[in-house]
Every structure is written in structure tokens, then in C-alpha cells.
Amino acid sequence: MSRICVHGLGHVGLPTAALLALAGHPVTGRDIAPDLVARVNAGASGFAEPGLDALLARVIGSGALRASTQAVPADVHIIAVPTPLDAARRQADLSAVWQVAAAILPLLRGDELVVLESTVPVGTTEALAARLPAGVAVAHVPERVLPGRALTELVQNDRVVGGVDAAAAGRAAALYRAFVRGQLVETDARTAELVKLAENAHRDVNIAFANEIAAICARVGVDARRAIALANRHPRVEILSPGAGVGGHCIPVDPWFLAQAAPDDAVLIRAARAVNDAVPQRVVARVRAACARYAAPRVACLGLAYKPDVEDVRESPAVAVVQALLADGFPVSVSDPFVSEVPNGAVLRDAAEAIAAADVVAVLVPHTAFRALDARLFRGKAVVDPVGLLAGG
């Protein structure tokens, strides 16, 4: 069994560390946040992921996994740290990756495997290898994980394994076979990096088309969801559902990493980002128009997470809408069954209570719990529903 150190105990790194520990490897999970490390050592993840806390309790209890704020010598180092978007430059902020590289450099003998899981621009894995001693095998193994299904998808999904050379790809694939039941496809690091970015850019472009169709439908007086449903009856057409914008840690961010490599060629990718970034403000404009009917309008916003049935608010368009309405001075109540912290100035309430006290209701996230609300609650309210909850979308 290999000694493994997983750097970054977030939504990807922690489940990966736990699954490797369950497979029999001695694993140290490293994170720079002391409170997170203490929580993991107590057997708790700190975020909602079905089955993860039970798995943590098992592998922490057996001693197979422990968490630390310090990098430790290991046969394998897995880097799963955040690579956020530098919004000003629209480029990846790779500082956390380079910090891990600096932390492990004094510990390396020269025969280890270093796997970069973090989503990165093309060429980053090679740049990482250049910072490490000769003999260290370096590979990029990007994740394909849906929040709320991380444990299932880490095991079942196919993975692309990109090595700086073929030997590194082979070593990384052998490691992941310890828990991955999906196919492990070996390739070069640059291809693996581009594939991950292309996957999320593809989704962003398709969402942008749906949102653009919705905007056009609003201008010409056509029911967008009805029009899309009819278009999708064509055997080779599958338009997605429009919404309140695009959120999460991947889709609003990764296309910019792809565009970073060839900005002059990424015309469609950049256009899709512009379309999707504009959607929350269009929703705000609709809410403002609804509020104009009232002397002192009270607003209820249903949903704060970036997608249905998760607690993740990273890059959430719903948060952007709520913040804009608060900046306008509207009294805003927010209801979300998964989120307990709301933007400063908003009031967290039960959904039925928030609707009852409001003049204007903005449905921002189609959580399953909201689908069970009595339709009579919405009677007499001005409703803005970009996600199609009340239409069954």
C-alpha cells in the first residue's frame, strides 16, 4: 500500500482521501485551515454530502485517515486545492497549487507520484513538474463530480488520466484503480487538462443558448418553456431549460481557463460567459418591475444555493440577485432548506412564511422542497419565476 497525502480537504479532496483510506492506503489529509482539520479528525466533513460523514467516521476510527495542517512525506501526493478565477484578469489563480508544490518539495526523494486534481489551464501540470525533482512522476486526473453525489460519482464515473509522460499516466491509473470502477483512460497531461475544461465550457455554451432563447422569447411575447418543449420534439434537438444564471465552482469559472490559452480563438466561449453572466441582472430587472406595482414592496426570494438540492452557494446567481435587491433597499426574506447563512440585510424564513409576508416572490432555485409548496400560497402575489418551478420546469 502507498502512503498518500491529499492536499486540500474540500468537496473533492476529502471524499477522495476517504475512499483511498477505505481501499487500504494509509492517508494523511492536509489542509491549511486548523478548524477544518480538527473537524475531519472528529469524523465530520462540515458540508452536506450524503454518506461522507459515515465514511469519515469509519476511516478516521480505524486510523486509515488522519488530517493535519502539515505536509508529510508520502509515496503519493494528491493536490486538490482551489483554483479560483482572478475576476480582474479572467485567469486562473494558481497560488494554492504552487504553495503545495513548495510545501512538498523538501519532502520529495525523487521517486514519488504527484497527482494534480485541481482544475487548471492547459500546461499547468507540465509547469508543476518543472518545479519538482527529476524522477517524480506527475499527472493530472481531473474530477467529474456532482455535489450531492460525490462518493457515487468518484467511484462510478470514467476518469481521464493525463501524465507528463506515459509512465506517470500508468502510475496514476494504477493508484485510482484502488477505488474507481469506471474506465480510466490514459492520455497526456495537456489533453487531460483541456478535456476537463472543454466539458464545462460545453455545458456553459448550451446553458447560454437556452438563456438567450428565453431572453428573445420575453421580447417577442412567447412562452420560452413551451417553445423549448416544442423544439425538443425534433429528434435531433435538445435545448436545456433556462434559469436564473450559472453558478458553482466549475461552469462559471472553467471556460475562462480554456479561453486563457487562446483568447482570440475562444469567441463562442467568451460570448457564452457574457450571456450567462447577464442573466441574474435580467432577473433583478423583472423583480424591480414587479415591485413597482407596490408602494412599499416586500420581497421573498426562494433559494440561495447555486443549483437544486445542495447547500453550495459558490458563484450562485441567486446570491447575486438577493444582494442586488438588498442594495436597492427592498426588504428581502430568503428561504432555502439547505442554506442557513444569508446575505447581510436579508432575513432567513420558512418558505411558506416568507411567501405569506411578501408582495413579490422570486423563485431562484427549484429545490424539491419548493415543488411541494401549496400553489395557493402564491395567489395574489407578483411572482417572478425564471427557473420555471410553478410551470413544472
Max Cα–Cα distance, the chain, nearest Å: 71
For residue 162, the cross-strand partners are 140, 187
Percent with pLDDT over 90 in the chain: 94
92, 208: one domain: no
268, 134: one domain: no
Q: Where are the alpha helices (DSSP H) in 46-177?
A: 52-62, 95-104, 124-130, 150-156, 166-176
Answer for the pair 67, 37: CB distance below 8 angstroms, yes or no. yes
368, 239: one domain: yes
256, 378: one domain: yes
Q: Residue 393: what pLDDT?
A: 60
230, 312: one domain: yes
pLDDT band at 1 (very low <50, low <70, confident <90, very high): confident
Domains: count for the chain = 2
What is d(CA 6, CA 141) in angstroms, rounded to the nearest whole number? 13
Residue after which a domain boundary falls, among 182, 217, 249: 182
> Using one digit for the tens of pLDDT, what is the confidence trace for 67-77?
999 999 999 99
237, 274: one domain: yes
| Residue range of the domain that includes 92 | 4-182
282, 342: one domain: yes
Answer for the pair 372, 349: CB distance below 8 angstroms, yes or no. no
pLDDT at residue 392 tops 80: no
> Using one digit for the tens of pLDDT, what is the confidence trace for 274-325?
999 999 999 999 999 999 999 999 999 999 999 999 999 999 999 999 999 9
Q: Residue 209: what pLDDT?
A: 98
- In the residue annotation, 250 being an active-site residue is answered as yes
253, 333: one domain: yes
State the chain's mean pLDDT as an integer: 96
State the CATH number of the domain containing residue 60: 3.40.50.720
Residue 282: count other Cβ atoms within 10 Å of its Cβ.
16
Q: Residue 391: what pLDDT?
A: 81
10, 143: one domain: yes
Answer for the pair 255, 269: CB distance below 8 angstroms, yes or no. yes
- In the residue annotation, 381 being an active-site residue is answered as no
Say if strands 347-348 and 27-30 run parallel, antiparallel, or are unpaired. unpaired
Catalytic residue selected from 250, 291, 301, 307: 250
- To the question of pTM greater than 0.95 for the whole model, the response is no
What is d(CA 309, CA 294) in angstroms, rounded to the nearest whole number? 32
